[in-house]
Structure 1
Amino acid sequence: MAWFPFFVELDGAPGLLVGGGTVALRKAEKLLAYGPRLTVVAPQICGELAALEGPVFCRRPFEERDLEGPPRFVVAATDDRALNHRIAALCRERRIPVNVVDDPEACSFFFPALLLRGKLSAGISTQGASPTAAAWLRDRLDALLPAGIEAMLDRLDRCRARLRTECPDSRERADRNRRALELELALPDAPAPAPGPGRVALVGAGCGRADLITVRGLRLLRQCRALVYDDLIDPALLDQAPAEARRLYMGKRSGRHAAAQQEINALLIDLARQGGLVVRLKGGDPYVFGRGGEEALALQQAGIPFEVVPGISSAIAIPAEGGIPVTHRGLSREVHIITAHTGTGDAPDYRRYASLQGTLVFLMGLERLPRLADDLLAGGMAPDTPAAVLSGGNAPHPAALRAPLDRIARAARDAGIEAPAVIVVGPTAALDLR
């Protein structure tokens, strides 16, 4: 039967190594990486072993009093088989874990083939059958590890500690820890940026799961000094910012604004002037009805360096998630992305969109859906034109509803669909490619 692999804390723990040759040297080198208080007992101790820093050396034969204390573990590594067996028997009487080199039957624990990378510790054992095979497997595992595994585990450790206080629900906490790992594995560890003048990155987070962000966006997020974020951002992305980074919520939803756009512009400028990288994390794409253009203009006028990292817009992502391609050969050769809101707050006239070909995608239009449908019909669009209302990504109430244009508003109301939602009108809205 296989032996169970326990992981034991040895930092500061007393340990006894009996033997002073090259075999004892190899055991000591493995052990000392884990910080025990190691005592080496042997009449003669080879030069390489004696040169190690940390152990206490007793140049004399083994005595039973060496087991007083008792030590947390004992390693018998002499070239005297009878002495090794005597040490093993004494340890078993005292219930002290003992390893006897090259004698599996005398052992109560084995030395595995060890792999140590920061907080990662792996041990592979064949229960003494083939140490060579264990070492071969260890080397293959080492080759599979991502670059920067030590820093990655440090970040995941900080994320896990923060989530223990921020996220009381155990299932949500486990999901966010898993997604944090997925994002860590998505790209190699990047070097920390050199200190310098402040700059801003307008980063599109994509629409939906955290792994829809671009590689460039994720790398900038991991390097930021301050993070300013919107609604509907996957929380796993917030966990990717450095632990010391400031996190500032500036969501803007219909009827509920955490801050006016002018305040957000001013905040980005102020943070940038304090130095370092500021990431403005926006759902979807910054320039597709995300008001990223207004923020870029404000930064440009203030003389703040900035860059824009595109993201996957909800105009494309949410229909795709619901099984609707916004273009499709033979059905739709063009797509029009329209906001249902106007900058002035006046009631818009949607009749002019009825003559457009292809697919119409309306954002931020759920409240105006009855007016929108009526105007399209009044503009000459056929009553049986396929239409769909979809809420997805990180929306709190996902839904996907299809109905003819003349019935879509009532169907959405009866289904209780809630904002945010994307409205699709056109032949592809009848498709369900999931």
Structure 2
Amino acid sequence: MEYLPLFANLRRRTVLVVGGGHVAARKIELLMRTGAQIRVVARELCPQLTGIINNRDINWLGPIFEPAMLDEVFLVIAATDDAELNARVYKCADERHTLVNVVDEQQNCSFIFPSIVDRSPIIVAISSSGKAPVLARIIREQIESMLPMFLGTMATIAGTWRSRIKQYICNMAGRRSFWEKAFNGSFANMVAQGKLEQAEQELEYQLYNCPSQSGNVALVGAGPGDSGLLTLRGLQLMQQADVVLYDYLVNPEIIDLVRRDADRVCVGKRVGEHSMPQAEINRLLVKLAQQGKNVVRLKGGDPFIFGRGGEELQEVAAAGISFQVVPGITAAAGATAYAGIPLTHREYAQSVTFITGHPRDDGDFIDWPSLARCNQTLVVYMGVMKAAVINRKLVAHGRAPQTPVAVISRGTYTDQKVLIGTLEQLEMLALQALPPALLVIGDVVALSHEINWFGQENLIA
């Protein structure tokens, strides 16, 4: 280990910054967040730094660095373009055994700045020991995506309760178990939703009453296919899950992002076959949560758009179980974007309508005259089997047979296939499509030849 990582308390400690440019300003902005007493030495100040000094309690000592300025200073930063001055600052500080950092000159540093993920009071620091700062930054960005913003709030609340928990739960193992359940259970969910008062009430209940065995359910949209379209919040919950119930339509690459020791249960449905009836999925969600588990229900696309997410949460809510919803990019938005088809366009479509080609067996009323209107885009989910009916009904109610259509197969996947034709060719196009497939009907489809950007060229019928 070349450097020992430390977290220094700079509140009310003096820090000297030599330099008045943009780099110095960035360092000062970071130091201001720590409550340090900042002194600046610089021949001239950049506008950003001038504004900071005019509006903050920062002391500008003047243009010339003098060794005496290091007296009673806790640490020093040199950020000038004068190599001789930087070396002098380092030498003087080192002789006084004062920590010093010369920006971008590792040989003149007794400490270095790490890349920081700030979820105060939770702080994560990443360093490459000065060898590869860009790599450290890339790692920081990856960690940023994994840590939700509410972590700091949760840690702050936990800090105010720490002494009470310690008084009531005497042994360390018991306290550890209490906090593990809190940080992975209803308390954490309430903080994530901004329900801070209820979150503290939950902590109090868990502390002074028999701990509830009920877990929680998170309904998460996995997006249309491409794993890069999964939301950060969805990924965070998948990393916290005890069990994940997922559909066939979820990309296996996304399933691989689930916490390794979580149970994974496929409950997905395909056209013509059901691995698990919907009522049984609903009951399983309740059963698992009542066992005290963190349950993620992972659904392709968005769970509230033809995903039966509402039905599942009705049963969860009726059982009194805590739940939350993480939206996903629905197939209509994702697949059409990857096919170069804008759903709306000022010249071609002023509205868009999503419908399912697989309605309830007891018969839903479909307003075909409204669906057949011009100047709108119609997107049909699960419509391959009903393509002939859709064609016939739309034409019968006034939609032109030459209206452009697209059948998008495996949208956003690397093997995405887009078949382009006209409404009268819809059935023929649908028969050529591999599931899952999406039907898009409207004049905007004609724009795909101009702005298609992803994967292979669209195929014209």
Shorter-chain TM-score bucket reads 0.5 to 0.7
Distance 2:366 2:358 in 1: 10
Q: Which amino acid aligns with 2:305?
A: V
Residue of structure 1 equivalent to 2:360: 343
Structure 1 contact 349–375 (Cα < 8 Å) conserved = no
Distance 2:436 2:237 in 1: 27
Give the CA deviation at 1:409. Answer: 1.7
5+ residue gaps, structure 1, are: 1-28, 31-129, 150-181
Following superposition of structure 1 onto structure 2, how do residues 102-117 of structure 1 map, counting pairs within 5 Å?
none
Structure 2 contact 229–329 (Cα < 8 Å) conserved = yes
Structure 2 contact 146–232 (Cα < 8 Å) conserved = no
Following superposition of structure 1 onto structure 2, how do residues 218-297 of structure 1 map, counting pairs within 5 Å?
218-297=235-314
Residue of structure 1 equivalent to 2:225: 208
Equivalent residue for 1:418, pick from 434, 439, 443: 434
Note the alpha carbon deviations across 1:175-225, whole angstroms, 9 max, x for none: xxxxxxx9x567144677625440100001111211211111111111111
Note the alpha carbon deviations across 1:381-408, whole angstroms, 9 max, x for none: 1111111111123779632011111122
- TM-score after normalising by structure 2: 0.54
Give the CA deviation at 1:350. Answer: 6.9
Note the alpha carbon deviations across 1:124-171, whole angstroms, 9 max, x for none: xxxxxx99499998415257426988xxxxxxxxxxxxxxxxxxxxxx
Note the alpha carbon deviations across 1:5-26, whole angstroms, 9 max, x for none: xxxxxxxxxxxxxxxxxxxxxx
Secondary structure of 1:299's aligned partner: helix
5+ residue gaps, structure 2, are: 3-104, 113-127, 152-179, 186-213, 453-461
Note the alpha carbon deviations across 1:211-246, whole angstroms, 9 max, x for none: 211111111111111111112212222222222111
Secondary structure of 1:269's aligned partner: helix
Equivalent residue for 1:332, pick from 341, 346, 349: 349
Distance 2:311 2:359 in 1: 15
Following superposition of structure 1 onto structure 2, how do residues 15-414 of structure 1 map, counting pairs within 5 Å?
132=107, 138-139=129-130, 141=132, 144-145=135-136, 187-189=145-147, 194-196=183-185, 197-344=214-361, 346=363, 351-352=368-369, 353-355=371-373, 357-393=375-411, 398-413=416-431
CA RMSD of superposed structures (Å): 3.3
Secondary structure of 1:271's aligned partner: helix
Call closer, same or farther: CA 1:356–1:339 in 2, change over 3 Å. farther
Secondary structure of 2:360's aligned partner: coil
What is the total number of aligned residue pairs between the two structures? 275
Secondary structure of 2:385's aligned partner: coil
Structure 1 contact 402–408 (Cα < 8 Å) conserved = no
Call closer, same or farther: CA 1:214–1:195 in 2, change over 3 Å. closer
Residues 184-193 or 293-302, more deviating: 184-193
Secondary structure of 1:371's aligned partner: helix
Call closer, same or farther: CA 1:230–1:425 in 2, change over 3 Å. same
Structure 2 contact 220–327 (Cα < 8 Å) conserved = yes
Call closer, same or farther: CA 1:403–1:289 in 2, change over 3 Å. same
Give the CA deviation at 1:296. Answer: 1.0
Call closer, same or farther: CA 1:316–1:405 in 2, change over 3 Å. same
Distance 2:444 2:342 in 1: 6
Q: Which amino acid aligns with 2:322?
A: P
Secondary structure of 1:139's aligned partner: coil
Q: Which amino acid aligns with 1:431?
A: L
Structure 1 contact 391–418 (Cα < 8 Å) conserved = yes
Structure 2 contact 411–417 (Cα < 8 Å) conserved = no
